[in-house]
Structure 1
Amino acid sequence: MRELSSEAGASDRNAQTRHRRRGRDDMAVPSAEFRSYYGRQILKSPVWNWMIAAYLFSGGLSAGSAMLAAGADLTGRTELRRVSRIGALVSLLASMYFLVGDLGRPERFHHMLRVAKPSSPMSMGTWILTSYGPGAGLAGVAELMPARVRRTWVGRLLGWAARPAGLEAAAVAPGLASYTAVLLSQTAVPAWNEAHPYLPFVFTGSAAASGGGLGMLLAPAGESGPARRMAVAGAALEVAASRTMERRLGLVAEAYQTGRPHRLRQASEWLTVAGAVGAVVGRRRPALVASGAALLAGSALQRFGVFEAGVASTKDPKYVVVPQRERLAERAAGQ
């Protein structure tokens, strides 16, 4: 019995020794890096092409121009009002062209008007665009009328209706500027979905900067004051929201900070800041034209950079799996 007891004690001591040794070995082993199954991507990349990025930009430009046109109309700046209304109309037509071109068939836009679903960003965006279009279109057409048409009863009627139509478009314009960000963030694309608290501010600031930039580019220098102030405010919001987004996204921020998306958004930030500085210090016409062009280019590159980042994030499975694991771990720790 003593021999069996001594053998059992020795076995227990050996087991404890192996357990302690295994614990030290486990502590020495580094944590495993994430790897997917044969490196295959988990999500399918978006089927959208560059036309959607162009739609994002042109829609935001139209919204920013409509807001600036309403302010110019209320303050008596006729030339700034004219170029902004025409800019809102032209960019609206461009956005519709890009949207329908991506949809493939024009009747698909009509089909989306058969229902109104508040929980669907696509449905709400369709109705926002439909509500915005008539006002912006009527105000823009009123500015394009020849002088001889203005003297007719049709011209006088359009001229009378242009102000309420422009104000209605300006009221809907913030929704038009930001709904595309909500639409992107409701997809499964990691770089868009994780950025849902920040993208609406990035897009709204970009829309205001581009609208102000267009006013600086086309309006006389004497009437460009509201356009310059709007451009500076929009640029500040866009750059601040973009920097905050990159700092708080964690792992998914790599999709914005590497490769082609990083180059596009870095160029966007440089152009936007340069345009804002020009809007503050510039007073002569050439400086305002250069600053306005820089703001327009920066806004366009911002939209293309965000679009490219979303596509890139679907090709690397770590952007899908790692954030999911982190959320599960946080939920388990909270419970």
Structure 2
Amino acid sequence: MSSVLFVAEHRRGDLRDVSYEGITAGRQLADALGGELHIAVISGDVDGFAESLNTPEVDVLHTVEVGEEFDHDVYAGATEALHAELDPAALILPNSVNGLDYAPAVADSLGLPYVSDTTALAYDDGLTATREMYGSKVETTVDVDADQFVVSIRSGEWEAASGAGDAELSEFAFDAEVVDDGARVQGFEEVGEGDVDIADAEFLVSVGRGIEEEDNIDLIRDLVEATGATLSSSRPIVDNGWLPKNRQVGQSGKQVTPNVYLAIGISGAVQHVAGMKGAETIIVINTDPNAPIFDIADYGIVDDLFDVVPALTEQFE
């Protein structure tokens, strides 16, 4: 009972970033426990997903061939069955829309303590989970006094695992009929009119209230076009109706982890920072040298964006 089980996540045929981040989180916890790391892939192209997730950190990969997309009852039932088979100390799930759908149900069914939205995990005679509260203004730790537990991890907090491994492959048979309540997912419909998924972008140019007027966003679009980046924004821009909801970064928008995040006219409210602090390189343009976003910036320019952005655009063109 010292192993760790992590359930990967995929959507519409693609593994989510948190699947690779979960391997890193799981490996760290498994090492602390002195056990193995087991990864489960439920539904969809399980063989293809398993091949992608077969990194050096993984000991065993379990494939559960049932259905194509996420289904609450199937995922909850299959996860509980895997847990009964493996009896792991730790069950790790993504703190995503899907993960939050079934993680509490699984923990309740198994009668185990559950800690959600964790940003760090440590084990020394017991689990200590780190969480952020009050819009990420306060960091707290939760000590779990139990031999077995369930946690969900926030995307962007762990480095993504990579490389080729030689994990053992195991097919896990699960009969979905045993959890058949008459309801099944029949398809997937994208919400909104989004033409891009900013969560997949490698270079984001994000604009905030410092742009002052909607017409000034064209200035940012010129830079986006010149750099080949993707346009995103903070919440005030979306609330004003200047950009659609699918472009919003932050706790009430999307969490992003691009290679480069260029924040223009964004002060750095905790809700926004929580959605982008996992970016590899953060560049900030702001007139206020005391803006909170400078605290997490790798590079900063204290100047008027209306002077800096055209000069950058000209350089890239």
Larger Rg, first or second structure (1 or 2): 1
Which structure carries more helix by proportion? Answer: 1
User: One fold, TM greater than 0.5?
Assistant: no
Indicate the TM-score class for this superposition, using the shorter chain for normalisation. under 0.3
More strand per residue: 1 or 2?
Answer: 2
Ranked by relative contact order (alpha carbons within 8 Å, sequence separation 6 or more), the top structure is 1
Return the TM-score normalized by structure 1: 0.24
**TM-score normalized with structure 2 length:** 0.25
